[in-house]
Structure 1
Amino acid sequence: MSNLQNTTSSSVIFLLTGVPGLEAFHTWISIPFCFLYATAVSGNSLVLFAIITQPSLHEPMYYFLSMLSATDLGLSVSTLVTMLGIFWFNAREISFNACLAQMFFLHFFSVVESSVLLAMSFDRFVAISNPLRYASVLTDSVIIRTGLGIVARATVSLFPLPFLLKRLNFCPGKILLSHSFCFHADVMKRACADITVNIIYGLYVVLSTVGFDSLLIVLSYTLILHTVMSLASPRERIRALNTCVSHILAVLVFYIPVIGVSMIHRFGRHLPPVVHALVAYVYLVVPPVLNPIIYSVKSKPIREAMLRVLREKRKG
C-alpha cells in the first residue's frame, strides 16, 4: 500500500489557477503584478544593501529590519516564477514535488516574517522601557542567536508538512488548485484520503507560530503603552510612540492578509473563487511591497541611506 501511495504521489500533476474568470485578461493583469514584484524586489534589496553598506545603520533596530527585507525577498521569489508563468505563458502545470517545495518555502518565509516582527516588537519595548540598557541587552551575539533561532523554529515547525502530504493518496489525473501557488490548505483538500492529521498539524503550526507571535506582539505593545503613559511630558510620549509607527504598520500589513487567507480557507467556501485568489495575492504581494515604502517614509536614517546608495550607484 505504501509503494502504491508513493507511486501515486510522484505522478501527481497539479494545475495552478491565475485569476478565475479573467483568464482572457491574464496578459494585462500581469502588468500590475510585474510592477508590484519589481517594486518589492528592488525596494527590499535597496533597504538590505543600505543597511549592510552604511555603518551608521549597524544597530539592532536596523539589523532586524534587514532580516525583514531578506524575508520579504524570499517570499516574493518563492512565488514569482509560477505566478508570472501563468500570466505570461499559461504554464499551469506543476509536479507534486515542486509543489511541495514551493509550499514549504512559502510557509517558511511567512513564519520567519512573523517571528521577525515579534523580535522587532521586543526591540521597541527595550528601546522605550529601558533605553540605557538597550545596547547591552541587544548585542550583536544576541541578534545573531535570535536570527538563527527564528530560522530553526520555522524549519522545525514546517519540516513535517511535506511528508504528511506525501503519505496521502491523490485521485488520478491532473488536480486543479485554487491559486497560482501551492498553499498547504489548498493542496491537502485535494487528497482522496483522510486528512484529519494534516488539518490538526496545520492548525497547530498556525497557532504555535503566527498565533503565538501575534499575542506576544500585543503584549509587547501593552507594556510599551504602559511605559509611554508614565512619561511626564506629552512631547516625550509622542516621540516614543513615533518610533513604533513603522513597526505597527508592518505588523498590520502582514497579519491582516494572513488572517484573511486563513479565515477564507476555513469559512469562505461559499465565496466566489476570484475572492479567494485576490485575498491570496494581497497576502503574498502587499507586505513585501509596502514594508520598504513604510520604513523609507517613516525612518529618516533609512531614507537618507537609500538615497545615498542610489547617488553612489549613479556616480559609479
Structure 2
Amino acid sequence: MKLNIKNETSRLRAVVLGTAESPGPVPELENAYDPKSAEHIEAGTYPTEEDMVKEMEAVREVLEKYDVKVYRPQLVKDLNQIFTRDIAFVIDDKFIKANILPDREEEIEAIQYVIDQIDKDKVIELPEDVHVEGGDVMLYNDYLFIGAYYGEDYADFITARTNLKGVEHLREMFPNKKVKSFNLRKSNTEARDNALHLDCCFQPVGRGKAIIHKNGFLNREEYEWLVDFFGKENVFEITRQEMYDMNSNVFSISEDVVISEKNFTRLNTWLRENGLTVEEVPYAEIAKQEGLLRCSTLPLIRD
C-alpha cells in the first residue's frame, strides 16, 4: 500500500474506521480519559454498544457510497476501538504510531494487518518521551498544524496528549513542512473548556475554509494567526457549546463532500452555503466520549 496524505480535504481513497463492537463495560469514573466521558458516566447516560455500532455503520455506508476502501480494526473483546485517529496518523507517505496511553496499546495491534501492507521503512515509532496523537496533527499541504500543551504542568493533565517534544520531533522529521504549533486549553473536569485535540477546536474544510473555536486556544496570537491565514470571511466560528458538541470534528471525503453530525444545524447550513455536499449521520452517542468523526477515522490514502 502506498500511503499519501498531504491535507484534510483531498479525495479520500482508503481509511481505517474504528469499531464500536464489544467496547467493554461502562468505565469506572476514575478511569475516564476525558471530562466528557466522566460527565456521562456520572449521569448514567454513557453510550451503549448498540447505539454506537449503528452510528459507525452509518459512516461506513457513506464512505462506501463514495468508493472509499474501508479497513476496520480486528475485534478485541471488551476494548474501546472507536478512536483510530488517536493511535496513529499518516503524513505524506509515512505511517506514524502515536505514543498513546499505555492501556491502549492493544488498539494498534488490532490494525497490524493494515500496517503489514505498508513498506516497513515508512512505519515510524516515536521515542518514548515524544508524545503526539493523531487528533493534534492537521495537514495543510506545505503546512503542518500541531496542537499541544506547553505548560510545565503537562503531566497533571490526562487531557494533554501532545507535548513540545512531539512538535519538535515532527519538525525534524519533516524539514520540508512549515510547522505551526498551537497551545490548547486543557481541563480534566470541564469538557466545555477542554480542547482534547486540535481537531476539537479547529479543522480545515472545503476549499480554503476552516471551522474554529476561539477559546480552544490559550494564546490569542496563535488563534488570530489561523484566522488571518484562512481569512476571516472563510472561517466559521463555533460557540463553546458547539465545541462541546464537537462541531469542528467533521470528516472530509473530498473538497466537495463532508460527513457531519445531523444535529449540527448551523454548521451544516454554512457548509452547504459554501457549496459543500453534507452527508449527515447520527453521531451524538459517540460524541459523549469527547470524540467525533475525525477522531474515529485514520486516513491512509488521498489523491
- Normalised by the length of structure 2, the TM-score is 0.31
Q: Which has the higher contact order (CA 8 A, sep 6+)?
A: 1
TM-score calculated relative to the size of structure 1: 0.30
Higher percent of residues as helix: 1
